């Protein structure tokens, strides 16, 4: 069964460092998303991406965050200068249709720990 894959599964970084989280969505999907979940809290939407551009982003997705689909298969989330409060599990998801019409497929998550 097709799946969304994420790397790394766990990354530890120092505050102020840049981090890139990688995702390989399901190949025929057109919509891509990043979500985060701070430990013990609910999942939060970060950004959606369609047709090589951001279609929607939340208040959390400020200038330190960026997304890119560099090669037609990978979908990356970059955090430019990490803060302690960026420590969370980051989930990538993809769907054939938008989240208001299509089933979402999630990756296993990338746990980011900022020290």
Partner 1 sequence: KNEVEQSPQNLTAQEGEFITINCSYSVGISALHWLQQHPGGGIVSLFMLSSGKKKHGRLIATINIQEKHSSLHITASHPRDSAVYICAISGAGSYQLTFGKGTKLSVIP
* Residues found near partner 1 in the complex (CB under 8 A): 31, 33, 35, 37, 41-45, 48, 50, 55-56, 58, 89, 91, 93, 98-109, 111
- Which position has the token pair 């939340």? 58
SS3 42: coil
23 CB neighbour count, 10 Å cutoff: 25
- Rank residues 48 and 82 by Cβ distance to partner 1 and give the closer one: 48
In the complex, the smallest distance separating the C-beta of residue 2 from partner 1, rounded to whole angstroms, is 13
In the complex, the smallest distance separating the C-beta of residue 16 from partner 1, rounded to whole angstroms, is 26
In the complex, the smallest distance separating the C-beta of residue 75 from partner 1, rounded to whole angstroms, is 14
- Rank residues 44 and 76 by Cβ distance to partner 1 and give the closer one: 44
- Rank residues 18 and 40 by Cβ distance to partner 1 and give the closer one: 40
* Cβ-proximal residues to 102 (8 Å cutoff; 6+ apart), any chain: 31, 95, 96
Rounded to 5°, angle at Cα 20 from 17 and 25: 165
Token pair of 89 as six digits: 């599990």
């Amino acid at each position: 069964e097709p799946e969304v894959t994420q790397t790394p599964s766990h990354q530890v970084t120092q505050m102020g460092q840049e981090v890139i989280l990688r995702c390989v969505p399901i190949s025929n999907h057109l919509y891509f998303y990043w979500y985060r979940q701070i430990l013990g809290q609910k999942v939060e939407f970060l950004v959606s991406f369609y047709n090589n551009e951001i279609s929607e982003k939340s208040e959390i997705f400020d200038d330190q965050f960026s997304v890119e689909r560099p090669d037609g298969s990978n979908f990356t989330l970059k955090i430019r200068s990490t803060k302690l409060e960026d420590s969370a599990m980051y989930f990538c998801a993809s769907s054939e249709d938008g989240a208001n019409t299509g089933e979402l497929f999630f990756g296993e998550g990338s746990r980011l720990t900022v020290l």
